[in-house]
Amino acid sequence: MNVLFSNMFLFSLIGICVALYYTIQFIAFYLLDSDIELFILSKLGKPIDTLRGKVVWITGASSGIGRDLAIILAKHGVRLCVSSRKLSELMKVKQECLDASRGYLHANDVFVLQMDMLDIEHHGKYFKQVIDHFKTLDILVNNAGRSQRAEWHTIQLKVDRELFELDVFAVVNLSRIALNYFLKNSVQGQIGVTSSITGLVGFPNSATYTAAKHALHGYFETLQNEGFCVDVTIFCPGPTATNFLQECFTNKPGEKINQRTNPGDRRMTSERCAHLYAIALANKTYLSWAGRCPMNFIYYIGCYYPNVKRLLIKTFGIANLDKLRNGQPLGSN
């Protein structure tokens, strides 16, 4: 009788613990604006300050997440190369970085590099300019990229090719140059990859972009597993209030969505996203994500509960998912 009673007690205890574990986990999914590991690291992990003095190259640093990441790193004394196509915008970012560092960084510590990522043939030349300037590189953050909004069946193949050229092949090529530099010079380097929620979940109405971000996961997870002396951090922002939707690809080559951010935008701020990205880099996480409620919830369901994901997409509806992604209220037209 006693044995039966103690077994029942043990099973009840296990049952309660499992129920409690899932309840806490689901509440965390819902309340946090990042994955649970990143949340814990933001409280107990290495602070961004541990990157002080390092040389970080951020591509696509003229606006949005790249710009804000540069500013937050500058605030913590990180030396920077900021690159993109728009020189005038980069010069403004440089000044903002110098201001944010409150005298810690000097003009030479922020190197402005005008560079089109699509100029793949000259990536080696651009890389050399950064090394000539700083004599080293610690972290390459592959952030430049463009999104897409289009229905699957209408997308012209030329768009698939153009988007992959920028969001995948340019990133892979520059990273290979960096990796070879790290290996040749025995530098324990790090590569940051700005992926997206679409790198984890097949998001409706963005097939090429989703495929491109999935491709990045394929390339860089393999690099993580090949055992090179390089740390790879894949960071997946959820919907973030940047000018992203202006430059967004559609289904036709040369066309852009041209949609501006509106004042009532509900997406995560670019500053918050960049802050979480900086924590992920400082802690060399393998895979981190960020996104305002309920995006974090969708990430977890999408990654770990595929059947629930399908049910959710069906009940929630593609139109509502699009609204969430574009920062619009759910009831709006």
Binding site for ligand NAP (CB under 6 A): 60-66, 84-86, 89, 116-118, 143-147, 166, 194, 196, 237, 239-240, 242-244, 247
Task: Quote the least distance from Cβ 211 to ligand NAP, whole Å.
Answer: 13
Task: Quote the least distance from Cβ 56 to ligand NAP, whole Å.
Answer: 15
Task: Quote the least distance from Cβ 210 to ligand NAP, whole Å.
Answer: 11
Q: By C-beta, is 6 or 262 nearer to ligand NAP?
A: 262
Measured CA to CA, the distance from residue 268 to residue 291 in angstroms comes to 6
Cis check for the bond before 329: say yes or no (omega within 30 of 0): no
Q: By C-beta, is 52 or 92 nearer to ligand NAP?
A: 92
Measured CA to CA, the distance from residue 194 to residue 197 in angstroms comes to 10
Measured CA to CA, the distance from residue 150 to residue 162 in angstroms comes to 14
Q: By C-beta, is 104 or 169 nearer to ligand NAP?
A: 169
Q: Which string of DSSP letters, residue by residue, matches 83-109?
A: EES-HHHHHHHHHHHHHHTTTSS-GGG
Query: Contact at 8 Å (CB) between 44 and 38?
Result: no
Q: By C-beta, is 187 or 293 nearer to ligand NAP?
A: 293
- Chain residue whose CB lies nearest ligand NAP: 64
> ∠ CA(207), CA(209), CA(212), 5° rounding?
110
Q: Taking Cα atoms as reference points, which of 50, 93, 101 lies closest to residue 75?
A: 101
Task: Quote the least distance from Cβ 293 to ligand NAP, whole Å.
Answer: 15
Q: By C-beta, is 89 or 271 nearer to ligand NAP?
A: 89
Q: Taking Cα atoms as reference points, which of 109, 108, 102, 38 lies closest to residue 78?
A: 109
Task: Quote the least distance from Cβ 239 to ligand NAP, whole Å.
Answer: 5
Cα 27 versus chain centre, distance: 23
Four-residue CA torsion sign, 108, 114, 118, 121: negative
Q: By C-beta, is 190 or 195 nearer to ligand NAP?
A: 195
The per-residue b/e assignment along 314-325, b for 16 or more CB within 10 angstroms, e otherwise, is eeeeeeebebbb
Task: Quote the least distance from Cβ 171 to ligand NAP, whole Å.
Answer: 9
Q: By C-beta, is 175 or 242 nearer to ligand NAP?
A: 242
Task: Quote the least distance from Cβ 153 to ligand NAP, whole Å.
Answer: 23
